[in-house]
Amino acid sequence: MASLKVVTISLLLGSLLGSPAFAQSPTYGVGRTPTAEELRRMDISIGPTGEELPPGRGTAKEGAQVYVQKACIGCHGAAGIGGLAPILQSKQGADVPVWKKERILPLRAPHATIVWDFINRGMPVGLEGTLTPDEVYSLTAYLLFLNKVIPEDLVLDKQSLPKVRMPIGDEFGKPHHFKLNAPRLEGYPY
Amino acid sequence: MDSKRNSRRELLKAGAALAGGITLGTGGKAQAQHDHPMTPGSENASPMIHGSKEQIEYGQRSKYVTSVRVQHPIGGRPSPDVFGKVFHVATPLQDSVGVITPSSLHYIATTRGSFLPDIDPKQHTLTIHGLVDRPLTLTMDELKRFPSVTRLHFIECAGNRHNGKQKTVQDTHGMTSCSEWTGVLLSTLLKECGLKGSAKWFVAEGAEEVKGASSIPIEKAMDDCIIAYGMNGEPLRPQQGFPVRIMVPGFEGIYHTKFLRRIKLVDRFYMNYNEFGHLRPEDKELALGEQIGPKSVITYPSGTQRLPGPGFYEISGLAWSGGGAVKTVEVSTDGGKKWNRAEFKNTPQRMAHVRFAYPWKWDGTETAILSRCTDEIGQRQAMREEIANWWKVPFERDYRVPGLDNSVMPWKIARDGSVTNGLA
């Protein structure tokens, strides 16, 4: 009984004084806890490991059909060339280094997961969020195939997509460790 | 007697005008038509704006004030485009006074060209999840129950680059604005959720159709990010992210996710589509593309304006830095040979515009005027030549500054008083 009282008092003191030991307990108690199902539906951020990817699968051949069915062709042109929207297939030869090629997402992206993420969150224009996971896997496969990143018969799914080796490899700038109240670039006076 | 009759006639005229459904402006005209001598000084110098319900409920600017936003020249996409999407729209800095950009003139930028979501705040929620002990979903009313802060901060788009082809300061520097923002510190909310030690970055995601998302370091989250619902004394405007956006003070505009719906705490850098746009071959250039460098520009006199003749002018401009508060601003009126300390018109604040001024007597000769600033962490705004020298590359006329362009902007003054782009 006495020890319970001590605990209660120290809890109270902790929250009042903001003691580090109790800093992790809620202070205001406002808002609600989202359900696991709500979070699953809402969480469309796909990181480089692909852990958030949903089940599903697709190949370039299937993607070529989805590309026509979903009218991607209307804005991006046949096979990603000749439309009003950004081009999706490089016009450059295979021997041209990736940084000298066009800035095309399914070509220059360091992780294939970004291609999946962007199609899923942002396409097609005006009908965002209506593609099924299979359709997004298929379209991703088709665009990667068009840019000679993967073979036509590779099945993309939660396991294989994060493992796709992108042409850029490791040849891109990495975000530096941000420091507060420090110059943008160490040794750079401007 | 005569004058009484005349007033009566005026009243009748005004009444007829009102009855005829003629509103604002024309009513004033009727009053101005005095056809009799009046006591000098008793006449109204101007026509009157008749009170209307709309005028009384929500104020309008004078019809003589016509300053507007325009399409930003870089990127070449019109706003609105044929679909009604908005891309990059610049604020009229040449007409600005003080440091607050009117909300109606704040610059606009979108992730890839975007419709403006018409969000009902009663339906909108913000969810914080990922590497926290307790995920949290807040309605807008609940968000407003947390302790708030009100701070002055600028936002600047990474596309705010100046070159010799642009004419006005709106073209060269109009993709930055400054407002007073009100909201809850993100650190307050993250402490409420119980931030896990493994959280190193967070992804902030918007509710517009492309659901634009950016990755931001956790150190920034715990320092000064604001989950903002207020702007210049009222709710955010839709073009600035109504009902809620994140302020990431000093970081380039795209990080300030509008229509904020979700914050996910993660253990690594998540490269989103927004970050794909930041992709560069070199670490060094990437580092110069996150936090805005020390920057200033003279807004008066500036491109396409004209000095009426030799004599006194107060040179005036804006300075800001993503590294902290502006410490000093210097102005040169001789093309950069001599630099003079400018005065501040308001107290410099962290990651906020400060208005500077320098009194100047123009002798009528051809010259160039420039400004440069230094921030509180010692970064100094440089001439393009200096930056090229630092990078050890030859300086050419169309030299492109690596990362965000915070180089000095010169304005040329011709003998006829006309002001033009000094980079042209």
By C-alpha distance, the chain A residue nearest B200 is A177
Q: What is the CA radius of gyration of chain B?
A: 25
Q: Quick check: A39 and B112 CB within 8 A?
A: no
Which of B254, B264, B260 minimizes the C-alpha distance to B228?
B260
Percent of chain B at pLDDT > 90 equals 80
By C-alpha distance, the chain B residue nearest A107 is B276
Which CATH code for domain B125-279? Answer: 3.90.420.10
CA-based end-to-end distance of chain B: 68
Instruction: Supply the mean pLDDT for chain A.
Output: 89
Q: How far is B59 from chain A (nearest CA, A)?
A: 35
Q: How far is B95 from chain A (nearest CA, A)?
A: 28
- Across the interface, of B83, B133, B281, the residue whose CB is closest to A171 is B281
Q: Quick check: B142 and A31 CB within 8 A?
A: yes
Which of B15, B208, B239, B2 minimizes the C-alpha distance to B107?
B239
Q: Give residue A80's pLDDT band: very low, low, confident or very high (50, 70, 90).
A: very high
Q: How far is B129 from chain A (nearest CA, A)?
A: 8
Which of B302, B274, B297 minimizes the C-alpha distance to B154?
B297
Percent of chain A at pLDDT > 70 equals 87
Angle at the Cα of B287 from the Cα atoms of B285 and B291, rounded to 5 degrees:
120
Which of B3, B13, B7 minimizes the C-alpha distance to B50?
B13
Average pLDDT for B298-313: 98
- Across the interface, of B127, B220, B287, the residue whose CB is closest to A176 is B287
pLDDT at B36: 61
Q: How far is B279 from chain A (nearest CA, A)?
A: 7
**Higher-scoring residue by pLDDT: B45, B4:** B45
Average pLDDT for B140-158: 98
Distance of CA A42 to the CA centre of its chain: 14
pLDDT tens across B249-276, in order? 999 999 999 999 999 999 999 988 888 9
According to DSSP, the residues that pair with B231 across neighbouring strands are B181, B234
Q: Quick check: B273 and A128 CB within 8 A?
A: no
Q: Give residue A24's pLDDT band: very low, low, confident or very high (50, 70, 90).
A: low
Q: Quick check: B381 and A183 CB within 8 A?
A: no
pLDDT at B122: 98
- Across the interface, of A30, A177, A188, the residue whose CB is closest to B146 is A30
Q: Quick check: B264 and A128 CB within 8 A?
A: no
Q: Quick check: B192 and A28 CB within 8 A?
A: yes
Q: Tell me the chain A residues in contact with residue B133 when contact means C-beta distances shorter than 8 Å.
A: 24
In three-state form (DSSP H/G/I as H, E/B as E, the rest C), the secondary structure along A11-40 is HHHHHHHCCHHHCCCCCCCCCECCCHHHHH
Q: Quick check: B290 and A175 CB within 8 A?
A: yes
Residues 6 or more apart in contact with residue B159 via CB below 8 angstroms: B72, B74, B75, B88, B109, B175
Q: Quick check: A38 and B137 CB within 8 A?
A: yes
Q: Tell me the chain A residues in contact with residue B279 when contact means C-beta distances shorter than 8 Å.
A: 108, 110, 172-173
Q: Quick check: A32 and B137 CB within 8 A?
A: yes
Q: How far is B400 from chain A (nearest CA, A)?
A: 15
Tokens at B41, concatenated:
């000084």
- How far apart (Å, rounded) are the C-alpha atoms in residues A134 and B99? 51
- How far apart (Å, rounded) are the C-alpha atoms in residues B199 and A92? 40
CA-based end-to-end distance of chain A: 64
Q: Where are the domains of chain A?
A: 57-87+96-163
When mean pLDDT is compared across A149-163, B47-61, B188-202, B351-365, the lowest value belongs to B47-61
Angle at the Cα of B208 from the Cα atoms of B224 and B77, rounded to 5 degrees:
100
Angle at the Cα of B240 from the Cα atoms of B235 and B245, rounded to 5 degrees:
75
Amino acid at A83: G
Q: Tell me the chain A residues in contact with residue B273 when contact means C-beta distances shorter than 8 Å.
A: 105, 114, 117-118, 121-122
Q: Quick check: B268 and A48 CB within 8 A?
A: yes
- Across the interface, of A42, A174, A189, the residue whose CB is closest to B127 is A42
Distance of CA B402 to the CA centre of its chain: 23
In three-state form (DSSP H/G/I as H, E/B as E, the rest C), the secondary structure along B53-74 is HHHHHCCCCCCCCCCCCEECCC
Q: Kindly tell me if the per-residue pLDDT of A8 is higher than 70.
A: no
- Across the interface, of A39, A45, A188, the residue whose CB is closest to B135 is A39
pLDDT tens across B69-124, in order? 999 998 778 898 877 889 999 999 999 999 999 999 999 999 878 889 999 999 99
In three-state form (DSSP H/G/I as H, E/B as E, the rest C), the secondary structure along chain B is CHHHHHHHHHHHHHHHHHHCCCCCCHHHHHHHCCCCCCCCCCCCCCCCCCCCHHHHHCCCCCCCCCCCCEECCCCCCCCCCCCCCEEEEECCHHHCCCCCCCHHHCCEEEEEEECCCCCCCCCCEEEEEECECCCEEEEHHHHCCCCCEEEEEEEECCCCCCCCCCCCHHHHHCCEEEEEEEEEEHHHHHHHHCECCCCCEEEEEECCCCCCEEEEEHHHHHHCCEEEEEECCEECCHHHCCCCEEECCCECHHHCCCCEEEEEEECCCCCCHHHHCCCCCCHHHHHCCCECCCEEEEEECCCCCECCCCEEEEEEEEEECCCCCEEEEEEECCCCCCCEECEECCCCCCCCCEEEEEEEEECCCCEEEEEEEEECCCCECCCHHHHHHHCCCCCCCCCCCCCCCCCCCCEEECCCCEEEECCC
Kindly compute the dihedral angle of the four CA atoms of residues B98, B99, B103, B107, in this order, to the nearest 10 degrees.
120
Q: How far is A116 from chain B (nearest CA, A)?
A: 10
Q: Quick check: B271 and A181 CB within 8 A?
A: no
Is residue B49 within 8 A of residue B55, CB to CB? The reply is yes
- How far apart (Å, rounded) are the C-alpha atoms in residues B272 and B251? 17
Q: Tell me the chain A residues in contact with residue B194 when contact means C-beta distances shorter than 8 Å.
A: 24-26
Q: Tell me the chain A residues in contact with residue B380 when contact means C-beta distances shorter than 8 Å.
A: 189-190
Average pLDDT for A51-60: 97
Which of B257, B378, B287, B324 minimizes the C-alpha distance to A180?
B324
pLDDT tens across B321-334, in order? 999 999 999 999 99
Q: Kindly tell me if the per-residue pLDDT of B291 is higher than 80.
A: yes
CA distances (Å), B74 to each of B65, B109, B280, B377, B420, in order? 26, 12, 19, 30, 19
Q: Kindly tell me if the per-residue pLDDT of A1 is higher than 60.
A: no
pLDDT tens across A108-148, in order? 999 999 999 999 999 998 899 999 999 999 999 999 999 99
pLDDT at B115: 87
- Across the interface, of A27, A42, A180, the residue whose CB is closest to B223 is A180
Q: Tell me the chain A residues in contact with residue B286 when contact means C-beta distances shorter than 8 Å.
A: 173-176
Q: Give residue B24's pLDDT band: very low, low, confident or very high (50, 70, 90).
A: very low
Q: Quick check: A184 and B213 CB within 8 A?
A: no
Q: Kindly tell me if the per-residue pLDDT of B6 is higher than 70.
A: no
Q: Quick check: A117 and B219 CB within 8 A?
A: no
Is residue B108 within 8 A of residue B156, CB to CB? The reply is no
Q: Tell me the chain A residues in contact with residue B215 when contact means C-beta distances shorter than 8 Å.
A: 175
Q: Tell me the chain A residues in contact with residue B324 when contact means C-beta distances shorter than 8 Å.
A: 181
- Across the interface, of A38, A47, A176, the residue whose CB is closest to B283 is A176
Q: Quick check: B382 and A190 CB within 8 A?
A: yes
Is residue B74 within 8 A of residue B161, CB to CB? The reply is yes
Instruction: Supply the mean pLDDT for chain B.
Output: 91
Q: How is domain A57-87+96-163 classified at the CATH fold level? A: Cytochrome Bc1 Complex; Chain D, domain 2 (1.10.760)
Is residue B261 within 8 A of residue B126, CB to CB? The reply is yes
Is residue B180 within 8 A of residue B240, CB to CB? The reply is no
Q: How far is B336 from chain A (nearest CA, A)?
A: 17
Average pLDDT for B302-306: 98
- How far apart (Å, rounded) are the C-alpha atoms in residues B340 and B331? 5
- How far apart (Å, rounded) are the C-alpha atoms in residues A13 and A21? 11
Which of B267, B265, B147 minimizes the C-alpha distance to A18?
B147
- How far apart (Å, rounded) are the C-alpha atoms in residues A133 and B376? 50
Q: Where in chain B is the domain with CATH 2.60.40.650?
A: 295-421
Q: Identify the residue among B86, B111, B137, B405 best suited for mutation to test binding to A, counting A beta carbons within 10 A and taking the highest.
A: B137
- How far apart (Å, rounded) are the C-alpha atoms in residues B273 and A115? 8
B295-421: in CATH 2.60.40.650: yes
